[in-house]
Amino acid sequence: MAEQVIKYSDSDRKLDKNDFTKEGYSFSGWKDDSGADYSDEQDVSALIISPTSALSLKAVWESEPGPTPPGPTPKPTPPTITYNVTFEASAGGKVSQRSVTVPLNSKITADGSAIRIGSGSGMKVIKAIPDDGYAFDSWFVTGGNVLSDMTVKVTFKKVTLSEVSVYSSSLKRTYSEGDTFDPSGLVLKLVYTDQSFSLLEYKGNESKFSFSPSLTTQLKSSDKTVTITFEGKNTSQAITVGGSQSIGGFDDVIIYIVIAIAIIAVIAVIVILVRGKSA
């Protein structure tokens, strides 16, 4: 940058833009011999008061900060070790998920028909889902931690009928000798091995029932119960069988003879009275 000359007669009395450089420093302005500061490209008209005015300026430099030293190298994050847990279902059901990938030492817990692996928001829950006619049986794991790839098996069991009982309240329970058992209104409660139950009406399912005494056997006063059988399971219904309503016993014959004689006697009296009046 050459020396700048500003004449008294110049209309533009501004300092030229600084072109000086200094390695490791940055230019911050100018300073004269008295210590007064001047900015880059400042107007200095007030200092040039005559044709002989002179001004000597020196550049002011500020050291630039050195490069920031690098911080400590962070320790590398160890890789997460994971393992696969695979689930296998026996006949009669399936699982909600065939396999999961979980971190080493994840806790595994059997909770009823579900398996829980891990904790918090990362917990995996796998459910055992039985098919129709089947129920959850067991997991072949009870607890522990995942330490390697592993397989967990679940089994299902077929649901079968365990017991039956009479549920209906409208079933006829009082009979006379010679009657046959009337299953109209019969409803059974069916209890299964998984503790579930259902209700079944006799009507519409007649072929699945059997009775002792049979439905064609005349009841006797000694009959106190009727055994009802459904799919190999028995239950009983208490009944009361009273005297016969049919004619044929000796006592019944005597009663009807006495009644007939009484009727004949009444008719004879009426005839006699009518003839007496006629005479």
Q: Is residue 25 part of a domain?
A: yes
Q: Is residue 258 part of a domain?
A: no
Domain hosting residue 110, numbered range: 82-158
- pLDDT tens column, 154-194: 999 999 999 999 998 789 999 999 999 999 999 999 999 98
**Domain co-membership, 59 together with 117:** no
Which residue, of 36, 67, 98, is where some domain finishes? 67
- pLDDT tens column, 241-274: 997 654 445 555 677 787 888 888 878 767 676 6
Q: How far is CA 30 from the centre of its chain?
A: 80
pLDDT(50) > 80: no
Q: Per this entry, what is the length of the chain?
A: 279
Q: Is residue 58 part of a domain?
A: yes
pTM as predicted: 0.50
Burial 199-234 (b: 16+ CB within 10 A, else e): ebebeeeeeebebebeeeebbeeebeebebebeebe
Q: How many domains does the chain have?
A: 3
How many Cα neighbours within 13 Å face the side chain of 161? 15
pLDDT band at 29 (very low <50, low <70, confident <90, very high): confident
Percent of residues, the chain, with pLDDT higher than 70:
88
**Domain co-membership, 226 together with 184:** yes
pLDDT(73) > 90: no
